[in-house]
Chains A and B, each alone.
Chain A
């Protein structure tokens, strides 16, 4: 990596009393990278996250943002530059949705018209109709809506960095999955540097550019999801990745479009998968219909390729 990392942790340690919650970890996160810290509870991933915006002060080592040690930056100013979203959303119950989102721009003393514009823009970006939601109170929102507001609030002042501490942890599986999808799509557009903490490996695999596995305050392994699935460093990482189930997890990372063949006119149009669905889903469809070949049909309903059982094996060694 030639450019300066956006966030650099160099031998960072956090001790609570005699015990080291985070033990000499070193980690570079490039601009625009989606970095997921994953591990069992108490492994120090949350502490690591909270050291980056100085909610917790590190005991040893150095943390740099854009090459500057964060100890030199006033904590409040630092935090206003960094988006922050947490599991319980932390929305202010006595403020409306619009006012909650406007929090950081307000602290930065943006002009009122610009704040209003920005709030509307963000609400639209996150699929919350401003007319319907702007004046609601958090207690009137569903869990998913509240978490969208939480994300909108974190993005409000257009920070370069976004810290997310198990933001989807308290949601039901269906809402969680759709918010994960949305976050990935959103990241494709806004390209923030995101540090995301979770204990859910499926979530981590789905979202991460870089996966950092932590255990007992140390980094066990880091790399792209594919690298980790291909070569887990030890038994701990293997079990975290789902043990023998990880073949399916890896298949879930590969889109159909990457391995499909040209159109095969002899194939029926049903059963079919779409090119941006993943191989795990394709395998499931094959199992369900007891077939070895599938048509690939795009959103417009056009047949754009075909998929054989052998193709799945080729991509998943």
Chain B
């Protein structure tokens, strides 16, 4: 227990505080460019505020002082400080933009200093969450602040938002398509994997061959797999007209979906098999001995007890599919990856971010949602902890 031990300085926090200080002192927070083509001019806190930036240094110094104390109370204060900083961050950017940006084409590109700041703040947050109990809801405050700043139009002159504004229609379409592709792949592979897992349990000889094949698919690089699918799918579409009418081609959603399902099958099948095998044989024996039918044993006992591990498989698969679907943009499957590859082609990093940040957010959201769901499926364990 933390309460009982005498407070020692938190070294992790001290180092992170130093990093914050260095980022504020040495790096450009953002740059301002007159339009999309011309390179921007970097601005550090000193370049923007001059001597007025000195109070900013109070933040890392205060944080390091609290880290030095290291008591629970100091850490709680530090967490409050970090939340405040994260909440203020979008508004600081808005103020900077309002001050520096002139003209409808001028834009603010986030610089190394900003990203370092954000990254270190999140690291501090993780460190503090590991030391302190509760406070998960505090995460909502920075998100809320960001949402308010966005909704109020205060961040319009960010290059990222400019890119978004000029292709918001395409963005929403890509987001929708990305979600559709991922959910179709996860849903389909869940059905297939579950059927496969049941078959493997019934016919143990299927196991070795099945898993070998699935592992083999897993080792093929995604681009190579798309390439491998191109010819057969094109041939199938040409041969059977109804497939072509469905939209099956050598490129597009069909190979993307097949590849995503292929990659999803291994984690999904393995988790399902392990989960169903892992149910305590004593419990199953008792269930049979009490006179439950095989179907009742499966639906009422084996499946509910296996559910948390199966859900874990769905979680892994979903997060993986969210990322892989980005690559599918290369074969014309659409989705958020489109912006990443366009941006790379045009050397427009903000366009890359327009694709990458939502993918990141989707992955994190899917991860936390499905973890929460997995926790809900084992109430007896949750209670035991209390």
Contacts and interface: CB of A to CB of B under 8 A. Distances in A.
Interface in A52-71: 53, 55
Given A93-B380, A140-B383, A79 B288 contact: yes
Interface stretch (B32-40, B73-81, B289-297): B289-297
A94 B290 contact: no
Interface string B113-154: 000000000000000000000000000000000000000000
Contacts of B289: 50, 53, 55, 79, 84, 86, 90, 163
B384 interface: yes
Contact of A137 (B283, B286, B304, B384): B384
Contacts of A76: 291-293
Given A88-B280, A93-B283, A139 B384 contact: yes
B381 interface: yes
Given A94-B304, A139-B380, A139-B381, A104 B291 contact: yes
State the main secondary structure of chain B at its contact with A.
Answer: helix
Contacts of A303: none
Nearest to A154: B290
A91 B283 contact: yes
A94 B292 contact: no
Given A94-B378, A138-B380, A86 B291 contact: no
A274 interface: no
Contacts of A78: 291
B282 interface: yes
B204 interface: no
B159 to A, nearest CB: 52
A92 B304 CA distance: 10
A79 B296 CA distance: 14
Contacts of B301: 92
A90 B285 contact: yes
A193 interface: no
Centre residue among B280, B282, B286, B301 by max chain A CB count within 10 A = B286
Interface in A238-282: none
A15 interface: no
A91 B380 CA distance: 12
A112 interface: no
Contacts of B291: 75-81, 104, 107
Nearest to B381: A139
B19 interface: no
Interface string A199-221: 00000000000000000000000
Contacts of A107: 290-292, 296
B385 to A, nearest CB: 10
A45 interface: no
B179 interface: no
Contacts of B380: 93-94, 137-140
Nearest to B383: A137
A89 interface: yes
Interface residues of A, number: 29
A94 B279 CA distance: 12
Interface in A82-106: 84, 86-94, 103-104
B305 interface: yes
B290 A84 contact: yes
Nearest to A163: B289
Interface string B298-317: 00010011000000000000
A153 interface: yes
B6 to A, nearest CB: 35
A90 B383 contact: no
Contacts of A93: 280, 283, 305, 380
A197 to B, nearest CB: 13
Contact of B290 (A50, A80, A137, A139): A80
Contacts of B50: none
B285 to A, nearest CB: 6
A91 B333 CA distance: 50
Contacts of B290: 79-80, 84, 103-104, 107, 153
B384 A90 contact: no
Nearest to B307: A94
Contacts of A91: 283, 286
Interface string A95-136: 000000001100100000000000000000000000000000
A38 B292 CA distance: 28
A195 to B, nearest CB: 13
A91 B384 CA distance: 16
A121 to B, nearest CB: 19
B53 interface: no
A50 B289 CA distance: 9
B384 A140 contact: yes
A87 B296 CA distance: 22
A55 B285 contact: yes
21 contacts: A77-B291, A79-B288, A79-B291, A80-B290, A80-B291, A81-B291, A88-B282, A88-B283, A92-B283, A92-B305, A93-B283, A93-B380, A94-B378, A94-B380, A107-B290, A107-B292, A137-B379, A137-B380, A138-B380, A139-B383, A139-B384
Interface of A: 50, 53, 55, 75-81, 84, 86-94, 103-104, 107, 137-140, 153, 163
Given A78-B291, A90-B286, A107-B290, 19 more contacts: A53-B289, A55-B285, A55-B288, A76-B293, A79-B291, A80-B291, A81-B291, A86-B282, A86-B285, A88-B282, A88-B283, A90-B282, A93-B280, A94-B380, A104-B290, A107-B291, A107-B296, A139-B383, A140-B383
Interface of B: 280, 282-283, 285-293, 296, 301, 304-305, 378-381, 383-384
